[in-house]
Amino acid sequence: MTEQTNKLVKGAMLLSFAGMIAKIFSALYRIPLARLVGQEGMGYYETVYPIYSLLVSALLIGIPNAISKLTSEKIANDDYYNANNIFKYSRYVIVIMGVIISMFMFFGANFMIERWEWKSETKYVIRGLSLSPIFISITGTYKGYFQGMQKMLPTALTQIIENVTKVILGISITYLLVKSNYSVSFAVGGAAIGTTLGFLLSAVYINIYYFKHKNSIKLNRERKLRDRVKFITVTRNIIRVAIPITIASASYSIMRVIDSNTVFKRLTTINKDVANKMMGQLGYAFTIINVPLTISLALMITIVPAISIAVAKNNYEDLINKIVICIRFSLLLALPAAIGIIILSEPLMNMLYHTSAGHEYLMLLGICLVLIIIGQALAAILQGMGKYYIPLVSLFVSVIIKYIINYYLIASELQLMGAVIGSICYYAIYVLINYIIIKRATNFRIDILKVVLKPMISTIIMGISVFFVYSGVHNIINSNTLSTLISIITGIVIYGLMLIITKTLREEDFVFIPYHESIVSKLKKLKLI
């Protein structure tokens, strides 16, 4: 394994681990929140959140990834001086954008409600989230800077800080408001304020981290016969790179925005209160789906600078290697997560929310999950290769398909199930187009047996085991929560064992595990790798 590939794997694993911790806390946030405010309150939250995610996607993902890419390209050519200048100039660009978005959300809440025909009570959520773009923008510059140097620890820690704070303060504020007999909509606004405070603390942390380690970051700030990059050049390059990256990275948010924009307009046979509760149920399902998507996002963050370096050095072999690793890791994650969610959809909803309402949405979203993870990975590969606008073309086609399906199916007997079917088709088109472009550009080859069939065999056996374990344990102890948890743990163990038995795992896959040399040595003796 090359040093760059080693950094890619370790960086992805670090962010994945931090992301899993963050999502556990995020689940700990949404589950008690759902119990405090019910389907009505979650409906308000889930109506606004997709639009909010889309608005801040440039600050949260697009511009940091652009800074990461531009910085990594300079570092690949030993131009540390201008890598630092890119970081300094980009701070002005991203913070100005954050202030503009915050002002739009705070003063434009009524406009948003009228434009998308939301319930008026959603204004509390909008304004509760309105200041967060400022703090996200501050954090984003530093994250992009460190990611460009393939230092993933600061990004990982900010994720944890954001979500831990959101849980502690968001739930506390909501609880106090509910107990003080404030309206459900006002209480949900308190939860939104907790989210904003989480971003505030992460911004404080990453600033402290930067100034504490500023002198230890070995950046050569001398000119070395290189011209200093100009502010206008950096700004133009950030915009040029960030816009397509932002839009492509926001494919998941765009999908949910289409739902938010069409559900209330097309569910003409029911009133807005019922539609709002259905959106809350869909929000329950998305909360569960978001957990495995964290690892997908971590892989996307690390693959962009890694592939950029391979392209900058004209290292075709390393480029192909990273593409295969990215697709392989995506499948290793997506397949078992999807099957587990499909099989345990109803038990999971009952365990987390004490209701099975919406489990059919979760089951279909399990199918969509595979496509989402692979789609995000392929878009990241194209971005790293400098083909920024290709994902935009595939996304544009997908949006048209999604909107058409939503428009007709939501108004049919399928109702909100039509939106989920539209999401599956949306990502299927997205994956297909992106894959074809990458294949034509690089002519990379995938070992179908090792990369696809072996993980599928392992996943199928895991799925069968999970089904029978849940049924058997539930018949014995009659506890949904314990049966579900035991089934999940059993599934993880069996999937891991099957990957080893089928020799799907390779020696380099263990480099991020403590004492991996001893584990690899034993597995080699058993001829399992």
Q: What is the pLDDT along the chain (529 residues), one digit of tens a residue?
A: 455 555 555 555 565 566 566 666 666 677 788 888 888 888 888 888 888 988 898 888 788 888 887 887 787 777 777 888 888 888 888 899 999 999 999 999 999 988 877 888 999 999 999 999 999 999 998 988 888 777 777 888 888 898 889 889 999 999 999 999 999 999 999 999 999 999 999 999 999 988 887 766 654 554 454 567 788 888 888 888 777 777 777 788 888 888 878 887 787 667 677 777 888 888 888 888 887 876 666 666 666 667 777 777 788 888 888 888 888 888 988 999 999 999 999 999 999 888 888 899 999 999 999 999 999 889 888 877 878 788 889 999 999 999 999 999 988 888 889 999 999 999 999 999 999 999 998 888 888 888 889 999 999 999 999 999 999 999 999 899 999 999 999 999 999 899 888 888 776 665 444 455 666 677 677 666 6
Alpha helices in 385-479 (DSSP H): 390-409, 416-442, 448, 454-477
Q: How far apart are CA 269 and CA 271, in angstroms?
A: 7
| 284 shares a domain with 295 | yes
C-alpha distances in Å from residue 122, one per residue of 100, 282, 332, 522 = 21, 17, 39, 57
Do the Cβ atoms of 32 and 265 come closer than 8 Å? no
Provide, for the chain, the percentages of residues in helix, strand and coil under a 3-state DSSP scheme, each rounded to the nearest 5: 85, 0, 15
Does residue 269 sit in the same domain as residue 289?
A: yes
Q: Which of 446, 472, 496 is the last residue of a domain?
A: 446
- Of 137, 381, 389, give the one whose Cα is nearest residue 241: 389
Do 395 and 464 belong together in one domain? no
Query: Is the same domain home to 282 and 411?
Result: yes
Residues 515 and 421 reside in one and the same domain: no
Number of independent structural domains in the chain:
2
**What distances in angstroms separate CA 96 from CA 66, 85, 99, 112, 134, one per listed residue?**
16, 18, 5, 21, 8
Are 505 and 423 found together in one domain?
Answer: no
> Whole-angstrom Cα distance, residue 300 to residue 36?
34
Q: Is 358 left (phi over 0), alpha (psi -120 to 50) or beta?
A: left
Q: Which of 400, 427, 446 is the last residue of a domain?
A: 446
Report residue 8 as tokens.
């890619």
Domain shared by 433 and 452, yes or no: no
Quote the domain boundaries for residue 495: 447-529
Of 192, 421, 253, 434, the C-alpha closest to 330 is 434
Give the torsion sign (CA, 520, 523, 527, 529): negative
3-class secondary-structure state, position 414? coil
Question: Which of the 8 DSSP states describes residue 510?
Answer: G
Burial grade of 427 (CB within 10 A; 0-12, 13-18, 19 or more): buried
Question: What's the DSSP call for residue 507?
Answer: G
Please check whether residues 100 and 155 belong to one and the same domain. Answer: yes
139 Cβ partners below 8 Å, 6+ apart? 158, 199, 202, 203, 206
Which residue in 201, 206, 198 sits closest to 146, CA to CA?
A: 206
Same domain, 268 and 357: yes
Q: How far apart are CA 413 and CA 42, in angstroms?
A: 24
**422 lies in the same domain as 501:** no
The conformational region for residue 316 under phi > 0 = left, psi -120 to 50 = alpha, else beta, is: alpha
Same domain for 418 and 466, yes or no, is no
Nearest CA to 230 out of 386, 64, 97, 88 is that of 88
Residues 396, 511, single domain; the answer is no
pLDDT attached to residue 480 = 93
Contact 162, 22 (CB under 8 A): yes
Among residues 512, 516, 515, the alpha carbon closest in space to that of 16 is found at 512
Q: Which of 428, 446, 464 is the last residue of a domain?
A: 446
